[in-house]
Amino acid sequence: MDYVSYMQFLFNIGSKNRWICCRFCAIILFLYIIFIHFLLLIYRRDLEWMPTKSDELRYATDLPSKKHPDGPLLINDGIPTIKYLVKEKLKENLNEKINIEYKIIELKQKNIKKLIKPLPINQSFLKKFKKTAKLLNQRSKLPGNFILFGGVLNRAYLELTMNWLCNIYALPIKNKKQNEGNIYLLNATLLVGLDNGKICSQIKKTWPQVTCLSLFEANNNNTKIDFEEQKALDEPLNWGRLRYVQILNTRAMLLSKLGEESLPFVLAESDAIWLRNPFEKLFSKVNLLDDVDLVLPLNSPINGELKGQRFAFDPMIVFPTNASRLALQKLNNDLNNFDNNKKEDLKTIMDQDILNQLCSSQYAGLICRDFDMTDIADGSWFKLSETERQKKAKIVGHWPFIVNNNYYVGVHNKMARQAINGLWFLTTKQKQCNLSKARRVLKKFEKKNYNGVHII
């Protein structure tokens, strides 16, 4: 082979290799573009779920390196709007590709004009409720053999309730077994589900220690409700609306039954956060008082002025006295004695209105005391910065025992505010209790100092 032929042979081999290399590079580039596109899609999806962090937003209880708390989120603390609600498009041009802006607004509901009838409750359920409560009282290992009544919950409140149960289980306990939480609180907890058994089944699946009764359980000969009625009860409820008031009135009826049995109990709302165990330092001290029937939390004033009722409901300590029994009976009668001939029945009055009237008038000799707001804080605590919270805690020598999740309307807004503050303890996918996280977060609030209660 001469020199020219040899060079031509090498050139042909080189051309073929270059073509193979080019095809290989093109395939690699194509796969790379697809991979980048896939990552962008995931990132974009995350952005749709994760709201933009405001400059004023702080994650008070999370570590500084943790940018995004777990759980449901809302856009900005102080704005009662959330992704779970309706999206309203402000800009949309079908002919041009422009960014679409969204404003998240609450669902508007029509004012309720019809009278509020009580939910149908069978006498057999009330008998079972009283019998179950008496058994819990006998088995309770809480100070004073108290029952922890978590109230009445619908399906929309289930996640909040599961988060609360995880919360109280993670609270420290003396002489606890290894890897066991606060079993005493769970053993004394009583809940009522507003359906035929599905709510209680889910609760018992995770927390078998909790006692849960179903209001419309078929095999107990309880009153049944139709599909549409059950669907309406399952949905998230807005404050003051028909179903919301019906649920509160049902709770008032059950409170009166506990009063009839002369049982000591604590009414707790499952949308609150328990930073410390109130039974160890707070409730046990209150239990020593002999001139009190009810102990209630205070609503904080807004701009120095109290614009609502003085007392809130959560937590409410009820001692088994004649005055508390008569007061709860009066509360139930005023809310649930429905008369079709009276057009003003139950149209605007709320349980909190009646409760405050009973306390202020000292109905039947009723003596109400209040918790110090440094012990039981309301929703305004969530609006404080971490520095402000630490300053308040340093002044009184301790963190609050319980923080109520009020001032926000809507179950998803309440869930979101807990998540923003690092107080959401359920796993994102399975909705199971993340006990290690709950213990880690609550550990910072363990303090020994105590502030008492004041007579009104």
Query: Residues 69-114: pLDDT tens digits?
Result: 455 554 333 333 333 333 333 333 334 433 333 333 333 444 444 4
pLDDT confidence tier of residue 15, bands split at 50, 70 and 90: low
342 within domain boundaries: yes
Q: How many CB atoms lie within 10 A of CB 167?
A: 24
64 within domain boundaries: no
**What would the mean pLDDT of 176-183 be, rounded to a whole number?**
74
pLDDT at 47 over 50: no
Model confidence pLDDT, tens digit, residues 370-425 = 999 999 998 889 889 999 999 999 999 999 999 998 877 778 888 999 999 999 99
Model confidence pLDDT, tens digit, residues 431-445 = 899 999 999 999 989
* Phi, psi (degrees; rounded to nearest 5) at 389: -65, -45
Residues 6+ apart with CB under 8 A from 85: 104, 105, 106, 107, 410, 412
The residue type of 453 is V
Cβ atoms of 165 and 207 closer than 8 Å: yes
pLDDT at 450 over 90: no
Asked if residue 129 and residue 43 are part of one domain, the reply reads no
Burial (CB count <10 Å: 0-12, 13-18, 19+), residue 29: exposed
441 within domain boundaries: yes
Cβ atoms of 250 and 149 closer than 8 Å: no
**What would the mean pLDDT of 48-59 be, rounded to a whole number?**
35
Domain count, the chain: 2
> Which tokens in the block code for residue 262?
């002369």
The residue type of 280 is E
Q: What's the rounded Cα separation, in Å, for the pair 378 and 201? A: 31
pLDDT confidence tier of residue 7, bands split at 50, 70 and 90: low
392 within domain boundaries: yes
Asked if residue 151 and residue 268 are part of one domain, the reply reads yes
Residue predicted with more confidence, 335 or 32: 335
* Whole-model pTM over 0.75: no
Cβ atoms of 271 and 157 closer than 8 Å: yes
Asked if residue 129 and residue 45 are part of one domain, the reply reads no
Residue predicted with more confidence, 235 or 245: 245
Cβ atoms of 156 and 236 closer than 8 Å: yes
Pairing, β 273-274 against β 265-267: unpaired
185 within domain boundaries: yes
pLDDT at 227 over 80: no
Asked if residue 374 and residue 285 are part of one domain, the reply reads yes
Q: What's the rounded Cα separation, in Å, for the pair 10 and 209? A: 82
Asked if residue 127 and residue 43 are part of one domain, the reply reads no
Query: What's the CATH code of the domain at 364?
Result: 3.90.550.10
Asked if residue 427 and residue 304 are part of one domain, the reply reads yes
Q: pLDDT above 70 covers what percent of the chain?
A: 67
Cβ atoms of 222 and 250 closer than 8 Å: no
**What would the mean pLDDT of 236-254 be, rounded to a whole number?**
80
Q: What's the rounded Cα separation, in Å, for the pair 129 and 200? A: 14
Average pLDDT in the chain: 76
Check residue 318 and give its pLDDT: 95
| Domain edge (last residue) among 32, 49, 66 | 49
**What would the mean pLDDT of 38-65 be, rounded to a whole number?**
43
> Which tokens in the block code for residue 339?
């008369």
Asked if residue 235 and residue 330 are part of one domain, the reply reads yes
Check residue 54 and give its pLDDT: 33
11 within domain boundaries: yes
* Residue 22 lies in domain: 1-49
What are the C-alpha distances in Å from 391 to residues 187, 290, 396?
Answer: 36, 34, 9
1 within domain boundaries: yes
Asked if residue 313 and residue 175 are part of one domain, the reply reads yes
Q: What's the rounded Cα separation, in Å, for the pair 306 and 295? A: 19
Task: Please tell me the least confidently modeled range out of 6-10, 66-70, 123-127, 384-388.
Answer: 66-70
Asked if residue 157 and residue 24 are part of one domain, the reply reads no
Residue predicted with more confidence, 204 or 455: 204
Cβ atoms of 424 and 71 closer than 8 Å: yes
Asked if residue 420 and residue 276 are part of one domain, the reply reads yes
Taking alpha carbons only, the member of 196, 71, 70, 201 closest to residue 125 is 196
**What would the mean pLDDT of 356-367 be, rounded to a whole number?**
94
Model confidence pLDDT, tens digit, residues 270-314 = 999 999 999 888 887 776 677 899 999 988 776 656 666 888 888
Helices 242-260 and 322-336: crossing angle in degrees, nearest 10, is 150
Pairing, β 376-377 against β 402-403: parallel
379 within domain boundaries: yes
Taking alpha carbons only, the member of 186, 166, 172, 206 closest to residue 438 is 166
**What would the mean pLDDT of 21-32 be, rounded to a whole number?**
78
Helices 411-420 and 158-169: crossing angle in degrees, nearest 10, is 40
Q: What's the rounded Cα separation, in Å, for the pair 424 and 382? A: 13
Burial (CB count <10 Å: 0-12, 13-18, 19+), residue 149: buried
Check residue 172 and give its pLDDT: 86
pLDDT confidence tier of residue 14, bands split at 50, 70 and 90: low
